[in-house]
Every structure is written in C-alpha cells, then in structure tokens.
Amino acid sequence: MQVTTWWAELYDDLLAEVLLVRGDPADTARTLSYLISQLRLEPGSRVLDQCCGIGSLALPLAQAGYQVVGVDQAKGYVARARGEASRAGLSVELHAADAFEFVARPPCRAVLNWWTSFGYATDDETNLQMLLRAFESLEPGGRLALDVMNLPGVLRNFAPTVTLRRQTAHGEVELARESELDLARGELRKLWRYTLPDGRRVEHVSTVRLYMPHSLAELVRRAGFVDVVLHGELDASPLGLDSRRCILVATRP
C-alpha cells in the first residue's frame, strides 16, 4: 500500500524531543500497569507495539520481561530505540516499516497502538488496514489496546491554539499547534509551528480522522475483533464526556 503523507515529515527529531521523550516515570508505570492488566499479559508474553516511535513503551515493556516487537515508519525513531535498547541490554525486535502493512510473525499475545497513532488516513478503508494488520498479528484469544483522542471531549473543550514549551538538549523549544475542525469531513487539521532557541521557525501540518467512540468500535469489529470495551482513563473507568482519552480494548476470537 505504501501510504506516505504528512506523518513522514511531521515525526522528526524535533517532535521526538518535544513530545515523545517521557519525563514522568510514574505515568509510564501507570500505562504499563493498565496494559498488563487489560491485555492480560503473562510473564514473557509476546507484544506488538504498533507505531512504537522512539520506544517510549516498547523499551519499558521489554524491561518488565515481555518479548516486544515494535514497528514505526520513522527510521530515525527505530534507530534511536535500537540504540537505547542496546545500551540498556534489552532484547527488542524493532522494525522500520509501514504499520498499514506490517504483520508480526510469529503472532503475538497482544497489540497496542498508543498516543493517537491511529486514524492518520482520511478514509475509513485505509485506517481499517492498520486494524487488520493488528488482527493478523494476534494469536487467537489475543487482545488489542487502542488509545486515541476522545472526540466528545475534544468537541466539548475545543482549544483552537495550544502552546507548549519544552527544554531540549539544544535549549527551549516552543510549539504552537493551531487546530481546525472540519465536521463535514470528520477531520482535525493542525498547523504545527516550532520556534527554535536560535529564533528559526519550522512548520508542519497534520490531518487526523475523527471517530466518535461508537464508530471506532464498529470499525474495530469490522476488522474481526469482538468483546469491545471502551475506557476513559488508565484506571479503566468508563468513557465519559470529559475523559481525556478514548481507550478501546478488544479480542481476536
């Protein structure tokens, strides 16, 4: 398929430093606790991290004793994760490949797709392909955890502009994200404006498909999954209007 558009440019080293480097070990621990519980992982279980980025979850999962497979389209991110895994003495199987096409072999006990790494195509049939690859990567009885933005919460608390400042190895970087909702097309478009320490500016754009929770659940069922459950937080509380995220858990029969 080779679907390559805005995300091939957006996910660069700059974004990794500003958004992907996780500085809160407690948050990572809460995420791992949720995943281990909801995916029903047993010691040594094989897990696919679909769209693994720089390994923010893949490496901690490997550190916890799981057999981790990771895939991401950003070759630089995969190389960075491999380097960190090597320095930590971790065995992690990492692939620079298209998650719309990649299937883990042998199959896994669980697949996770985290931090809104789903819905990047503007049509359902293309996005469905990623769910099908997750289904094909699972052994029977295996489970999927999919974490995306909670659209009702986005609409309820829509913020046209969000500005972040992060300290990096090169100094403070400012990121201003300007968001625009296209409700007719079901899309969220963003303009990403970075201001670097030396005053230079870098811009990227992104477009994410918007899914109401029930529509996302239906797409997951179309991929073949059953027993779909929706959570709103890492404590497995029910999804609500003010939930910060929409976390879907489902099973391959």
CATH number of the domain at 95, please: 3.40.50.150
Do 95 and 181 fall into the same domain? no
Q: Does 1 fall in a domain?
A: no
What local confidence, expressed as pLDDT, does residue 169 receive? Answer: 86
What local confidence, expressed as pLDDT, does residue 5 receive? Answer: 85
Q: Which stretches of the chain are DSSP H helices?
A: 6-10, 13-15, 25-38, 58-63, 75-88, 124-136, 151-156, 213-222
Q: Does 233 fall in a domain?
A: yes
**What mean pLDDT is reported for the chain?**
96
Q: What is the model's pTM?
A: 0.96
Cα-based angle 7, 207, 111 (whole degrees, multiple of 5)? 60
Do 97 and 164 fall into the same domain? no
Do 172 and 233 fall into the same domain? no
Q: Does 80 fall in a domain?
A: yes
What is the torsional sign of CA 106, 109, 114, 119? Answer: positive
Q: Does 40 fall in a domain?
A: yes
Mean pLDDT of 99-119: 98
Among candidates 122, 110, 128, which has minimal Cα distance to 222? 128
Mean pLDDT of 107-130: 97
Q: Does 247 fall in a domain?
A: yes
Q: Say yes or no to pLDDT of 3 above 70.
A: no
Do 194 and 238 fall into the same domain? no
Q: What confidence category does residue 118 fall into, taking pLDDT thresholds of 50, 70 and 90?
A: very high
Q: What confidence category does residue 23 fall into, taking pLDDT thresholds of 50, 70 and 90?
A: confident
Mean pLDDT of 202-225: 98
Do 160 and 132 fall into the same domain? no
Q: Say yes or no to pLDDT of 156 above 70.
A: yes
Q: Does 242 fall in a domain?
A: yes
The structural domain count of the chain equals 2
Q: Does 171 fall in a domain?
A: yes
Do 11 and 125 fall into the same domain? yes
Among candidates 52, 62, 48, 46, which has minimal Cα distance to 22? 52
Range of the domain at 181: 153-207
Q: Say yes or no to pLDDT of 1 above 50.
A: no
What local confidence, expressed as pLDDT, does residue 170 receive? Answer: 85
Q: Say yes or no to pLDDT of 35 above 50.
A: yes
Q: Say yes or no to pLDDT of 166 above 80.
A: yes
Mean pLDDT of 181-202: 97
Q: What confidence category does residue 19 fall into, taking pLDDT thresholds of 50, 70 and 90?
A: very high
What local confidence, expressed as pLDDT, does residue 187 receive? Answer: 96
Task: Tell me the percentage of the chain whose pLDDT exceeds 70.
Answer: 98
Q: What confidence category does residue 92 fall into, taking pLDDT thresholds of 50, 70 and 90?
A: very high
Do 69 and 178 fall into the same domain? no
The three-class DSSP label of residue 107 is: coil
Do 47 and 116 fall into the same domain? yes
Do 20 and 102 fall into the same domain? yes
Q: What confidence category does residue 2 fall into, taking pLDDT thresholds of 50, 70 and 90?
A: very low
Do 217 and 197 fall into the same domain? no
Do 194 and 240 fall into the same domain? no
Do 102 and 24 fall into the same domain? yes
